[in-house]
Structure 1
Amino acid sequence: MAEESATSNGSLRNFTTHESTSKRGWLFKRSHFTHRWKPAWFVLHETQLMYGKNETAPLKKINLIGAQVKEADSSDQEYMWTVTPLDSRRTFFLRAGSEVEQQEWMEAVAEVLMKFSKGGSYHACTVQ
């Protein structure tokens, strides 16, 4: 089993262990209740965006099938975007460290969903 490591912007080196994992790295996620920004480790795996407190424990999942992904209009927080899962009232607020990193994450989500929508019953997300 080959080892893999993530760079600071979340791109993978030696990407041979998990072919269905397309991106991983640190992002900020806004807390649902307190609205504070907390760092979280994110892994984009197939149609799930998983996250957790560290690199070894991405415990929570955001289902991306049919999700709406939008760049957020916010003057106080740069590099922010939202993910709203299909048929969900909750919107996840995410923030990257740079504009490039933000774009990479948003594109990676769209690419994975397009991959899983071909020939199946999955629906690609909307990136706005």
Structure 2
Amino acid sequence: MPREPLEAELEHMFREDLIVACQYWGIDLSTSKPGAELTKLLAEQMRKKEARERIFATFNEREYDLLGMLCLNGGAMSYDRLKPFRKVYSYGQLNQTERDLRKKGIIVRRIMSRLTDYGREVAE
């Protein structure tokens, strides 16, 4: 199955998540830019290995666990698949972690949460 380009994956981000992710990844937002340009700038920044390593170094254990679980489950986050993690984390903690990762641009929300290529890289 061919992979979707990073820009196409990031197009599905909510505008508020896109803006926060751009700030988190160090993109200058001092001027007003359309969403397509922000998506392009974010994708360029995410392709830089040193930027990815800087961002990945800030992740906590729960974020790594959630990314690993999403990677093993094909990127889908459902309550049935979260059951094994309930022994360690509450649903509230996992949902908050998912929101945090969306704001970092690592998870893209469509109908269900979905990992971007770089989320899969961290999980592996």
**Same fold by TM-score, threshold 0.5 exceeded?**
no
Q: TM-score, normalised by structure 2?
A: 0.30
Q: Which structure would you say has the larger RCO, counting Cα contacts within 8 Å and 6 or more residues apart?
A: 2
| Structure whose residues are more often strand by fraction | 1
Q: TM-score, normalised by structure 1?
A: 0.29
